[in-house]
């Protein structure tokens, strides 16, 4: 089974979204770029704090700014569709653990201190990730030096941890950069994963289990069975099954464009859709098992979901073109008339409390960045977060500003070369990542708001800048409510 999936999986621009509220000038602090510190020859810059590995790397000359990086989701067990080995190591910047030190080296050269921690557990470990960020800050500030500024940043689940840290600790967090972040939070995102699994169950695999898994093996078996059918149906060019897959993709906004598939042809579009659905199903099965165990039950359901309303006229036309006239309406009717599932109230409450549920009450300058076509953490996470932010602005609960950036892939690229940016999960160029930190630093240190011209210059011509892209709304309007 594990040998088959890599085969099928293998088979530009940024938008500035200006904040709608004035932002206070930065607090005046020491602007020195040569701040004394205790070096790693005297303090252990690698080690373990309360079960979580950490790593700190200091520049030769410190500019007084500490960057705390939170890594993305790491499964507790080998996770489909890639089934990579489980890791628990610290990562002070993205790519560092894989030997890609380009971003880290550039930040060190600019005088930043870089730090990162693993978490005490793997899986949906937001609570552990927040604690790890707090503890590495405490360690650094007491053992190495008191920073003049602290920026928190992170990828994917680490983006959710980043925003949670920033909302929780404005007394020491000065700026935040959630990248490709799950900033809609745990319940809306696992809710979409549930919708994908429900769609597969109702339209393609009637006996598929989708909630209350008793073990990792049980959840994995559900994924393998459904994944096999999706792949085999696509390979057999089963138009009825493909139309059903497109229906499922429509209700969860799963992109047909991925890191390996440009979606420029029907074959590429269907292959990309299958890849996106396999990813969603991984979180709807194996990921759901971890979340159910962590929070004590099912955290999401579909009691009031109107699936037909999520399918646009354009999507319906594409489904009908493959499955025959009325295919989209027939498939939607099956979903809307199928059995409904209610969440466990206590489990959902716990997930909202400690599993990551950003309020949108941004307290510090914040820059987010997302790829347009992300099959794992859909770009509409940013729309969800912006809606909450706007509501908090209206309520007078915002003290920081929000700038949202998006990378858009080129229209065509081969599966072998892959998208250079803009498609795939967290697929950013090194320059884009460095640009975000540079823009954030200028905003915090000097009060220079990252306007469109500054963004364009920082990102460069080969990062996919496009000033007109904006994601659509979150697929489930019922989810976008304030906690």
Band the pLDDT of 4: cuts 50, 70, 90.
very low
The predicted-structure confidence for 232-254, as pLDDT tens digits, reads as follows 999 999 999 999 999 999 999 99
When the pLDDT of each residue in the chain is averaged and rounded to a whole number, the result is 92
Q: Which two tokens stand for residue 250?
A: 């429509």
**Phi, psi of 17, deg, nearest 5:** -110, 105
Q: Whole-model pTM above 0.85? A: yes
Q: Residue 6 pLDDT more than 50?
A: no
Q: Residue 300 pLDDT more than 50?
A: yes
Band the pLDDT of 80: cuts 50, 70, 90.
confident
Q: Residue 20 pLDDT more than 50?
A: no
Per-residue pLDDT at 3: 32
Separation of alpha carbons 212 and 22, rounded Å: 46
Band the pLDDT of 321: cuts 50, 70, 90.
very high
Picking from 75, 64, 52, 15, the residue whose alpha carbon sits closest to that of residue 441 is: 64
Q: Residue 327 pLDDT more than 90?
A: yes
Per-residue pLDDT at 28: 47
Q: Residue 326 pLDDT more than 80?
A: yes
CA angle 182, 21, 151 (to 5 degrees): 50
What average pLDDT does this structure show over 205-220? Answer: 95
The predicted-structure confidence for 92-132, as pLDDT tens digits, reads as follows 999 888 888 999 999 999 999 999 999 999 999 999 999 99
What average pLDDT does this structure show over 19-28? Answer: 42
The SS3 assignment for 394 reads: helix
**Phi, psi of 158, deg, nearest 5:** -65, -25
What average pLDDT does this structure show over 321-345? Answer: 97
Instruction: Give, in order, the Cα–Cα distances in Å from 135 to each of 143, 406, 439.
Output: 12, 31, 26
List of domains in the chain: 11-182+360-479 (3.40.50.1820), 187-350 (no CATH)
**Residue 94 contacts by C-beta under 8 Å, 6 or more apart in sequence?**
69, 71, 103, 155, 426, 433
Per-residue pLDDT at 87: 87
Band the pLDDT of 481: cuts 50, 70, 90.
low
What average pLDDT does this structure show over 413-436? Answer: 96
The predicted-structure confidence for 126-137, as pLDDT tens digits, reads as follows 999 999 999 999
Per-residue pLDDT at 25: 41
Separation of alpha carbons 278 and 9, rounded Å: 9
The SS3 assignment for 161 reads: helix
Burial class of residue 410 (count of CB atoms within 10 Å of its CB; 0-12, 13-18, 19+): middle
Per-residue pLDDT at 15: 28
Per-residue pLDDT at 29: 67
Do residues 466 and 410 touch, judged by C-beta distance below 8 A? no
Per-residue pLDDT at 289: 96
């Amino acid at each position: 089974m594990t040998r088959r999936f890599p085969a099928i999986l293998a088979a530009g621009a940024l938008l500035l979204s200006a904040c709608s509220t004035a932002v206070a000038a930065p607090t005046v602090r020491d602007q020195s770029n040569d701040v004394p510190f205790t070096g790693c020859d005297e303090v252990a810059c690698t080690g373990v704090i309360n079960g979580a590995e950490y790593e700190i790397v200091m520049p030769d000359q410190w500019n007084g700014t500490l960057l705390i990086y939170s890594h993305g989701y790491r499964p507790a067990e080998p996770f489909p569709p890639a089934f990579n080995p489980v890791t628990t190591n610290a990562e002070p910047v993205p790519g560092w653990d894989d030997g890609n030190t380009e971003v880290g080296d550039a930040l060190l050269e600019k005088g930043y201190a870089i730090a990162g921690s693993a978490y005490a557990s793997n899986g949906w470990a937001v609570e552990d990730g927040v604690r790890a960020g707090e503890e590495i800050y405490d360690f650094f500030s007491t053992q190495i030096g008191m920073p003049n500024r602290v920026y928190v940043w992170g990828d994917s689940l680490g983006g959710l941890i980043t925003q949670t840290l920033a909302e929780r600790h404005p007394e020491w967090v000065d700026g935040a950069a959630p990248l490709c972040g799950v900033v809609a939070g745990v319940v809306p995102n696992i809710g979409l994963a549930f919708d994908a699994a429900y769609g597969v169950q109702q339209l393609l695999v009637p006996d598929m289990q989708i909630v209350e898994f008793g073990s990792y093996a049980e959840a994995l078996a559900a994924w393998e069975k459904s994944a096999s059918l999706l792949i085999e149906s696509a390979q057999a060019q089963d138009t009825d099954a493909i139309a059903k897959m497109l229906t499922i993709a429509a209700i969860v906004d799963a992109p047909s464009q991925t890191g390996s598939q440009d979606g420029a042809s029907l074959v590429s579009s269907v292959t990309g859709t299958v890849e996106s659905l396999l990813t969603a199903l991984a979180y709807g099965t194996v990921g759901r098992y971890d979340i159910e165990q962590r929070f004590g039950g099912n955290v999401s359901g579909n009691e009031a979901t109107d699936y037909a309303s999520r399918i646009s006229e354009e999507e319906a036309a594409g489904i009908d073109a493959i499955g025959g006239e009325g295919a989209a309406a027939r498939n939607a009717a099956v979903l809307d008339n199928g059995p409904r599932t209610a969440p466990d109230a206590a489990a959902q409450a716990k997930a909202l409390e400690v599993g990551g549920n950003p309020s949108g009450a941004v307290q510090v300058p914040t820059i987010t960045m997302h790829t347009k076509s992300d099959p794992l953490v859909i770009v509409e996470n940013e729309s969800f977060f912006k809606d909450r932010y706007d509501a908090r602005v209206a309520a007078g609960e915002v003290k920081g500003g929000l700038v949202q950036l998006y990378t858009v892939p080129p229209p065509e690229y081969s599966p072998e070369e892959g998208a250079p940016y803009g498609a795939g999960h967290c697929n950013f160029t090194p320059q884009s990542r460095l640009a975000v930190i540079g823009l954030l630093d200028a905003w915090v240190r000097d009060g220079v708001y990252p306007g469109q011209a500054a963004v364009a210059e920082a990102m460069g011509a080969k990062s996919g800048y496009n000033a007109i892209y904006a994601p659509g709304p979150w697929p489930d309007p019922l989810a976008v409510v304030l906690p």
